[in-house]
A = this chain, B = another copy of it.
Amino acid sequence: MTRDDCIALDARDPLRQHRAVFTLPQGVIYLDGNSLGALPRATSAHVRDVIEHQWGEGLIRSWNSAAWIDLARRVGAKIARLIGALPDEVVCADSTSVNLFKVLATALRLQSSRPQVSVLERRFIVTEKTNFPTDLYVAEGLIDLLGHKHELKRVDFDEIHAAIDDRTAVVMLTHVNFRTGAMHDMHAITRLAHDAGALAVWDLSHSAGAVPVALNDADADFAIGCGYKYLNGGPGAPAFVFAATRHLRALTGDAYAQPLAGWLGHRAPFDFDHRYQPASSIDRFAVGTPSIVALSALEVGVDTVLAAGPDALRSKSIALTDLFVRLVEQRCGDQGLHLASPRSSAHRGSQICFTHVDAYAVMQALIQRGVIGDFRAPDLLRFGFAPLYVSYVDIWDAVDTLHQVLAHAEWRPAASQVRARVT
């Protein structure tokens, strides 16, 4: 394998024309699209139109004339196509954290409303120890608010199956681990949860736009996810939330089953009804007024993913990550790097982690040389591969830079720097 081989792979890449959809700075190899997606070229002009024409000229009238009122559902319906959901099952709203609170509370309510179930006996929310911290915090916050009738059971990746039993209320997992990229088998775990009488809640933050997701095929109950990673929606883009149609139907008569009852969750917000009557649709998972500017940017980002299609993205993602692992091990194998992600592409998302004893300093040195990845404590170098805009020659050049940094100990001077506070 040579650099020319990578150039040849790029020339044959069916997604090669999608890179031009993004603005990428000169001299940068961006391997952090799993943290913040790159900027689509169309975003700035679209947002400008929304601000200058829809807001500036349309003013309040644009809620109707520019269909702002439908925007959260319109973008939600587009995301639904990426995650195997129906258009009526997804809405954009709030943050991933707030959406997790909603679906977890709703899932517990569904469990408590089953007459045969004792809350005290079916008390566990099963999750992974290394889940993204906000997921753990949100669950603990809800458990505390509900008076500690439930308990968060944190287990290792490999112990999930064994941890699911008839005391499990909810299995709450992030599909693709935020550090290692290890990917759960959504179908198998959801089936196991259902067989045990539990419900399955999936965080798709590191999946949507990167790996194929088939929520309804897997019979998933609830899901949430992030708009600013592989969906390219911009920093802090609105999140999304999914609820299966069967649950939306079952909850119709229970006004506060989704407890964050805001006016946009009402079935007729503009009636200004003094009594809350939730929408029978996914709209009940909307709460307050969403940022139209932020949603508009997100829509452009989602469109970039839809234009490529999940299968093409997955194929290239696998090829990129496999190539990265192979080249790193070939060229830097004796430099203290150890693969921390699953070796089999079938068991991971679109990111790769290596451990290194001086990972922080090494990543700082890489960033100074234009190869942008992440450091994750204590010793992880994390690289994300957004197949829409990362090329095969990027992989070659990134590994080449990594090789130089490690071979010449070029990272040492950076070790004294203050640690960056970036996600």
- From 3 to 37 in chain A, residues with beta carbon under 8 angstroms from any chain B beta carbon are 23, 25, 28, 30, 32, 35-36
Each complex incorporates copies of this chain amounting to: 2
Which of B44, B129, B236 is in CB contact (< 8 Å) with A292? Answer: B236
- From 128 to 178 in chain A, residues with beta carbon under 8 angstroms from any chain B beta carbon are 129-130, 132-134, 136-138, 140-142, 144-147, 154
> Known: A28-B59, A56-B25, A69-B421. Contact between A256 and B377, CB under 8 A?
no
Q: How far is the CB of A130 from chain B (nearest CB, A)?
A: 8
Which of B59, B96, B259 is in CB contact (< 8 Å) with A288? Answer: B96
Which of B43, B48, B273 is in CB contact (< 8 Å) with A133? Answer: B273
Which of B28, B145, B237, B266 is in CB contact (< 8 Å) with A291? Answer: B237
Chain B residues near A134: list those with CB within 8 A: 262-263, 288
Q: How far is the CB of A66 from chain B (nearest CB, A)?
A: 9
**Does chain B have a CB within 8 A of A280?**
no
Closest to A289 in B: B236
A210 vs B419: C-alpha distance when bound (angstroms): 42
- From 26 to 74 in chain A, residues with beta carbon under 8 angstroms from any chain B beta carbon are 28, 30, 32, 35-36, 38-39, 43-44, 47-48, 51-52, 55-57, 59-64, 68-69
Interface residues on A, range: 35 or more
Chain B residues near A235: list those with CB within 8 A: 55, 62-63, 68, 289, 291-293
Which of B68, B101, B259, B274 is in CB contact (< 8 Å) with A144? Answer: B259
Asked if residues B276 and A140 are in contact (CB atoms below 8 Å), the reply is yes
Chain B residues near A98: list those with CB within 8 A: 94, 98, 260, 262, 287-288
Asked if residues B60 and A372 are in contact (CB atoms below 8 Å), the reply is yes
**Does chain B have a CB within 8 A of A105?**
yes
Asked if residues A43 and B51 are in contact (CB atoms below 8 Å), the reply is yes
Q: How far is the CB of A406 from chain B (nearest CB, A)?
A: 22
**Does chain B have a CB within 8 A of A193?**
no
Asked if residues B255 and A144 are in contact (CB atoms below 8 Å), the reply is yes
Q: How far is the CB of A43 from chain B (nearest CB, A)?
A: 6
> Known: A97-B287, A266-B137. Contact between A52 and B44, CB under 8 A?
yes
> Known: A266-B133, A293-B297, A421-B69. Contact between A288 and B56, CB under 8 A?
no
A290 vs B98: C-alpha distance when bound (angstroms): 11
Asked if residues A236 and B35 are in contact (CB atoms below 8 Å), the reply is no
- From 332 to 370 in chain A, residues with beta carbon under 8 angstroms from any chain B beta carbon are 367
**Does chain B have a CB within 8 A of A401?**
no
Asked if residues B289 and A419 are in contact (CB atoms below 8 Å), the reply is no
Which of B43, B48, B59, B239 is in CB contact (< 8 Å) with A44? Answer: B48
Asked if residues B262 and A61 are in contact (CB atoms below 8 Å), the reply is no
A374 vs B60: C-alpha distance when bound (angstroms): 9
Chain B residues near A297: list those with CB within 8 A: 51, 293
Name 12 extra pairs, CB < 8 A, besides A98-B98, A133-B274, A141-B261.
Answer: A25-B56, A32-B59, A63-B235, A64-B420, A95-B290, A96-B288, A97-B260, A134-B288, A137-B276, A145-B259, A154-B274, A228-B289
Residues of A within 8 A of B (CB): 23, 25, 28, 30, 32, 35-36, 38-39, 43-44, 47-48, 51-52, 55-57, 59-64, 68-69, 94-98, 101, 105, 129-130, 132-134, 136-138, 140-142, 144-147, 154, 228, 234-239, 255-256, 259-263, 265-266, 269-274, 276, 287-295, 297, 367, 372, 374, 376-377, 419-423
Interchain residue pairs A-B with the least CB separation, the first 9: A95-B288, A141-B261, A97-B262, A134-B263, A97-B288, A144-B256, A39-B56, A291-B294, A235-B292
